[in-house]
Structure 1
Amino acid sequence: MIDVDTRQVALPDGGRLVCHLVPPDPDGPTTGLTVVWHHGSPQTGAPLEPVVQAARARGIRLVSYGRPSYGGSTPRPGRDVASAASDVGHIADSLGLGRFAVMGASGGGPHALACAALLPGRITGVVTLAGLCPPQALRDWTAGMVAPGGLVAAAQGRSARSTFAETDEFDEASFVDADYAALAGPWAELGRDVGLADQDGPDGLIDDDVAFAAPWGFDLRDVRAPVLVVQGERDRVVPASHARALVDGCPDAQLWLRPADGHISVLAAVPVTLDWLLDLPR
């Protein structure tokens, strides 16, 4: 069994963030690379087994954490996407990290980009998988989404998004067959973790959606670290148009399109994206 070091990081405002550290396999390679994982919406921030195994096999130290209102982290209504950079900066300082890479899936993608834009000199590379682009980057930001109601409500403010949450139900058409196969197989733990996050209430997801639909607090042009955008072409939650907009907006970005993947099955690319991060200068 892998020993996960879970700790609470104190913030200047009196809040706390729950973070998790997974060391490299002591009997395996050691690369010196640390990757901070930004979870999707909603999740607890606990490390997911497929990510843990891929990181340990490559000698990578993995750090994950719960954003405010997730996984025991202190709520912070009104937070923007940019605030993730300050949060991760405090986590990194508490762990003695200098330079590190960031990776985000789905709702974690924008927060990973925030770190690269607002922690200059500390981020060696960024990976986003099925991540959103800023609203102003597309003429119709929700086009192609099967169930955009949460984001549409979020654009009207937190109160409207909270009201929407009272009757919101998951639309099964949001996932394609490959997504359901991933959730029944290697990514089953992700589904369980979403269930745990749901038990804590909707505040984390509400605050995420409101942050996504509002100005992010940074410009994609400020993301100077190399960026890898990974996208399933069959994604019905975050369409491929978002991936293309991210690549167009970031100064140093490349796009990996996966034709057969949807929103969850695209996570099968995690191991090769870690290889990509390892190949970057540190």
Structure 2
Amino acid sequence: MTVLVSTADGRRLAVEERGAPEGSPVFLLHGTPGSRLGPAPRPQVLYHLGVRLITFDRPGYGRSDRLKGRAIASIAADVATIADDLGIERFAVVGRSGGAPHALACGALLPDRITKVAALVGLAPPKAEGLDWFEGMAASNVREYIIGQGGTGAVAASLAAAAAQIRADPSSKLRLLATEYTATDRRTVADFGIRTMLVDNFSEALRASADGWVDDIVAFRSDWSFDPAGITVPTLVWHGEQDVYSPVGHARWLGRRIPGAILRIDPGIAHFGSIDVLPDVLLWLIREQAY
């Protein structure tokens, strides 16, 4: 069931819980574009793991109100607000794809509340020293992020047609992505359950507007307002070496930058393989064991 949580500045955030109600709380931050309905382990898997999974629409997506000009760091206050509303003091956070930088922001800015952080197939900051940010990246993403440097207006104009097409036919986003899939991504997305979750995710993400998508793209290419080097909580950086949407060089940079980070790179996996490893990552997040 979706509930609306109010923020101090009067916005509403759409929140959903799955899994074990008395389990260990974990926030799962969705990709780009995405929503609270994004890919996640099935409820019975979450019950078995003992995970209380909390998802929500980032501002501008789904049923959550927009926060104009938001930075990556802005997410920390929203996560803290939701945790307060749910009566949760300490929790873990995992972000997949576009959610990964936001998860790292929580780790950096909420150290007294975060137990562990996991960033899966994410991006590094735009001015990451020594990183060729676009190396190995699919042409469609390169184009999006270059336009992102031009600000909100340029991105909104660029994404308008794509967002309208996805609203009319959410599965069209998968067909577009398929033109750049690696073989391993194609196998993952061929699963009926995963395809259904992805289609529902895209449909809900853009149900009213493309604002969340636009604001994500601009935020990724702007100052994140925090340095990953300031993260002090246990952090896992996981990446598929064959990823063409968020190239593996970003994970290697983060692994060097974040003090004590565990860096795991799977040579046989690409971007959507991050969905398959989520149960193992959740287990690492809630238990005292090596990944």
Counterpart in the other structure of 1:184: 190
Letter in 1 for 2:224: W
Could you tell me which of 260, 263, 268 is aligned with 1:255?
263
- 2:118 is paired with a residue whose SS is strand
Deviation, 1:162, is 1.6
Supply the distance in 1 between the matched residues of 2:40 and 2:229 (Cα, whole angstroms).
33
1:44 Cα deviation after fit: 1.8
For 2:178 and 2:40, how far apart are their aligned partners in 1? 24
Q: 1:156 aligns with which of 132, 144, 150?
A: 150
SS in 1 for 2:213: helix
Deviation at 1:171, TM superposition (A): 5.1
261-270 or 175-184, larger mean C-alpha shift: 175-184
RMSD between superposed Cα atoms in Å: 1.9
Give the Å deviation of 1:53.
4.1
Quote the Cα distance in structure 2 between the aligned partners of 1:74 and 1:7: 13
Question: Match of 2:133?
Answer: 141
Residue 82 of structure 1 aligns to a residue whose secondary structure is: helix
Deviation of residue 198 (structure 1)? 3.5
Distance in structure 1 (CA, Å) of the matches to 2:111 and 2:73: 13
Cα distance change on mapping 1:158 and 1:207 into 2, 3 Å = same
| Residue 244 (structure 1) shift | 0.5
C-alpha displacement of 1:196: 3.3
- 1:58: which partner in 2? 49
C-alpha distance in 2 between matches for 1:85 and 1:110: 11
Equivalent position SS for 1:135: coil
Identity %: 37
* Distance in 1 between residues matched to 2:232 and 2:212, nearest whole Å: 28
AA paired with 2:246?
V
Moved more, 250-259 or 41-50: 41-50
Deviates more, 1:5-14 or 1:237-246: 5-14
Q: Could you tell me how far apart the structure 2 residues matched to 1:74 and 1:209 are?
A: 17
Q: How many angstroms does 1:140 deviate by?
A: 2.3
Deviation at 1:221, TM superposition (A): 1.4
Unaligned runs of 5+ in 1: none
Q: Secondary structure at the match of 1:91?
A: helix
TM-score using structure 1 length? 0.90
Q: Which of these residues, 8, 17, 21, is aligned with residue 13 of structure 2?
A: 17
For the structure 1 residues 143 and 152, does the alpha-carbon distance in structure 2 shift closer, same or farther, using more than 3 Å as the test? same
How many residue pairs are counted as aligned between the two chains? 272
| 1:21-59 per-position Cα deviation (integer Å, ceiling 9, x unaligned) | 12417xxxx6x4110010001112126452544322211
Q: CA deviation at 1:187?
A: 1.7
Q: CA deviation at 1:13?
A: 1.0
Partner of 2:165: none
Report the alpha carbon displacement of residue 86 of structure 1 after superposing the two structures with TM.
0.2
Please give the secondary structure, in 1, of the residue aligned with 2:55: strand
C-alpha separation between the residues in 2 aligned to 1:63 and 1:77? 24
1:180, CA displacement in angstroms?
Answer: 2.2
Partner Cα distance (1:256, 1:62) in 2 = 23
Q: Specify every segment of 5 or more residues in structure 2 that has no aligned partner in the other structure, as ranges.
A: 163-172
| 1:238 and 1:263 in contact (8 A); partners too | yes
Q: Of 111, 114, 117, which aligns to 1:126? A: 117
Q: Which whole-Å CA distance do the structure 2 matches of 1:275 and 1:122 have between them?
A: 19
State yes or no: 1:204 paired with 2:212.
yes
Q: Which residue of 2 aligns with 1:213?
A: 221
Correspondence list, 1:31-50, <5 A:
32-46=23-37, 48-50=39-41
Question: Given the two structures, how large is their TM-score scaled by the length of structure 2?
Answer: 0.87
- Aligned mate of 2:94, from 87, 100, 103: 103
Q: Over residues 134-178 of structure 1, what are the superposed CA-to-partner deviations in whole Å (9 max), with x where a residue is unaligned?
A: 111154212211121111111121112122213558453432122
Is 1:195 equivalent to 2:186 in the alignment? no
Conserved? CA contact 1:227–1:252, under 8 Å: yes
